Amino acid sequence: MQQQQSQVHLAASESALLAAQAQHAQSKAAYEETVAKVERLKSQFREQIMDESLRQSCRWNDMYYKLVEWKEQHGGDTTVPCDAKASSEEVKKLNRWVINQRTAYKYFMNGDKKHIKDHRIDALNKIGFCWSVQDQQWDNNFEELRRHKADTGTFHVTIKQNRKLATFISRLRTAMSHKEQGLIQAELTDERINKLNSLDFTWHMKRKKRNTPTRDTVKFDVMYEHLVSFKEIYGHTKVNKLEKEWKKGNGVPEKKVFRRLPLFLAFARKEQLLFLEGHPSSLDEDKIQMLTELGVEWKKPASEPRKSTGGEATRKKKKKGEQSELSNPPHPGFNYEDNYDVSADAVAAAAALRHPGLPTLPPMNPPMKHDQEEQREI
């Protein structure tokens, strides 16, 4: 009996729940319909306001209709590019007005709505106004990338083929690399990443190892041949001395490429020091040997002591010694012309003063000059 009653209550509860759900669905549908109706009314009202405001005579409306005319004449463009020299004054004014609208829209999106009204934004949206030139450029590049993938099946684009698209692809990969390192990349948003992933975009390129000579090797071989030619003409490899004369106007190099040799030798000396210190270097032992046999003079490492060559450091050291001698002059009573010898008595007396406990020593030096003269007089 109780079980039957429980089943009856359960069935009643289920029917009440279903009725409540149906009522909730009806209320939700009615609410959504009401919201849609309000939005339509608001849209119609804003369109009416927009139409009425555009009928008025004011400077903003005049510039707006000039933009509409520009768009019809230039294939739908609303960015109004301007050349400071070639463009007319009318184009420059329209360009400044378009820039001001974008600036006002940024303020509007940040809550400051006093610079531009809603109906004016609607009027600009109606003609497809470009609120961000960077966004439009990105979208154009993306469409070009999509067409390239559809035509070729790859994302490989060389600079010779299409410099603009190749730069765009390289910038995307660099931005993703920075994003993976935790750096903020405003250009690469999640929405754009999803759009690129929909094309199966290759974010990381695997570089193949090339057996051909590298750019540094080719450059070294070329400059080495120029250095050999320089030595055959001038008989040495001291290009810096001749470069100073060339800069002064005393002669000209036999070959124009000789003016690049000082930079090449400076680079070679720097790489040679790195090689000696055990750091990565573009010069190996064979290249260094080639330059050494040609007569190139190398710099000594900083760890190797250098001999004094009488340079600025030596002159400063000598000057410092002379100043120390001047700061400690001899006793004023001492006269070099008298040619006195320091007697043993004076040495003993000084020692007795410094060390009272020590016995005095007998005089060991010969008598002084004036003592000898007094003995002769006696």
Question: For the chain, what percent of residues have pLDDT higher than 70?
Answer: 73
Classify residue 122 by burial, with Cβ atoms within 10 Å: 0-12, 13-18, 19+: middle
The per-residue pLDDT of the chain, averaged, comes to 77
Q: What pLDDT was estimated at residue 100?
A: 93
User: Mean per-residue pLDDT for 98-114?
Assistant: 89
Confidence of residue 278 (pLDDT cuts 50, 70, 90): confident
CA 367 to chain centre: 83
User: Mean per-residue pLDDT for 165-179?
Assistant: 88
User: Mean per-residue pLDDT for 25-35?
Assistant: 82
Residue 318 pLDDT > 70, yes or no?
no
Confidence of residue 45 (pLDDT cuts 50, 70, 90): low
CA atoms lying within 13 Å on the CB side of residue 235: 0
- What length is written for the chain? 378
Residue 50 pLDDT > 60, yes or no?
yes
Dihedral angle at the C-alpha atoms of 152, 153, 159, 160, nearest 10 degrees?
Answer: -20
CB 107 within 8 A of CB 94: no
Confidence of residue 147 (pLDDT cuts 50, 70, 90): very high
In which residue are the tokens 């190398």 written? 298
Q: What pLDDT was estimated at residue 159?
A: 85
Nearest 5°: the CA angle 313, 318, 323 is 125
Q: What pLDDT was estimated at residue 6?
A: 76
Q: What pLDDT was estimated at residue 142?
A: 92
Question: From CA 233, how far away is CA 212, in angstroms rounded?
Answer: 32
Confidence of residue 97 (pLDDT cuts 50, 70, 90): very high
Question: From CA 37, how far away is CA 43, in angstroms rounded?
Answer: 10
Question: From CA 347, how far away is CA 18, in angstroms rounded?
Answer: 127
By three-state DSSP, how is residue 82 classified?
coil
Q: What pLDDT was estimated at residue 143?
A: 92
User: Mean per-residue pLDDT for 331-347?
Assistant: 50
User: Mean per-residue pLDDT for 41-51?
Assistant: 68
End-to-end CA distance of the chain: 166
CB 188 within 8 A of CB 176: yes
CB 80 within 8 A of CB 70: yes
Residue 351 pLDDT > 60, yes or no?
no
Output the pTM of the full model.
Answer: 0.42
Question: For the chain, what percent of residues have pLDDT higher than 90?
Answer: 4
- Summarised one tens digit per residue, pLDDT across range 53-64 is 777 888 888 899
Confidence of residue 323 (pLDDT cuts 50, 70, 90): low
